[in-house]
């Protein structure tokens, strides 16, 4: 049974295909511009958009709609129940992935899509601060090279 309208389905497909486009690309470019080097497509729970392996920082860009942003999580009127359940299950999955990553020693940054539009510089600063502080901490722990 097909629960999606044609428009919803094509929106869905474009979101899936668009894994490499828009909000997360903007963030990656901005991080690169301030000299931060990262990995993408890391095989970690929830498939973080950007990963800093040495600092063990994982960054997710959460779409306002799909992840139920409190400001922009508009509730579609058609198939309201379907979408409500879908978004609730996304949120539950986010929490499970967060827990799995934290257990493995990762620090997690979750950024709303709208934060990138509103304050990209602030988001980049926040990530850089965390990455730098986590890197220096792990550098202290490592035995010094001779």
Residues that bind Zn ion (CB under 5 A): 64, 69, 71-72, 112, 114
Least separation in angstroms between residue 119's CB and Zn ion is: 12
Whole-number Cα distances in Å, 78 to 8, 10, 16, 47: 10, 16, 21, 30
Distance in angstroms (rounded) separating the CA atoms of residues 85 and 24: 25
Judged by CB, which is closer to Zn ion: 56, or 67? 67
Judged by CB, which is closer to Zn ion: 42, or 124? 124
- Length of the chain, in residues: 146
Judged by CB, which is closer to Zn ion: 25, or 42? 25
Judged by CB, which is closer to Zn ion: 40, or 69? 69
Q: Contact at 8 Å (CB) between 55 and 138? A: yes
Least separation in angstroms between residue 105's CB and Zn ion is: 29
Least separation in angstroms between residue 22's CB and Zn ion is: 14
Q: Could you tell me which of 1, 18, 22 has the C-alpha nearest to residue 117? A: 22
Least separation in angstroms between residue 65's CB and Zn ion is: 8
- Token pair of 26 as six digits: 């903007």
């Amino acid at each position: 049974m097909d629960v999606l309208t044609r428009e919803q389905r094509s929106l869905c497909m474009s979101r899936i295909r668009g894994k490499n486009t828009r909000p997360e690309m903007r963030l990656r470019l901005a991080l690169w511009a301030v000299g931060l080097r990262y990995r993408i497509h890391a095989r970690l729970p929830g498939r973080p958009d950007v990963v800093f392996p040495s600092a063990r920082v994982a960054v997710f860009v959460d779409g306002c709609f799909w992840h139920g942003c409190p400001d922009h999580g508009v509730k579609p009127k058609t198939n309201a129940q379907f979408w409500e359940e879908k978004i609730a299950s996304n949120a539950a999955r986010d929490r499970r992935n967060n827990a799995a990553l934290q257990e493995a020693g990762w620090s997690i940054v979750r950024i709303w899509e709208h934060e990138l539009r509103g304050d990209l510089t602030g988001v980049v600063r926040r990530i850089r601060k965390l990455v730098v502080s986590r890197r220096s901490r792990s550098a202290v722990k490592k035995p010094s090279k001779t």
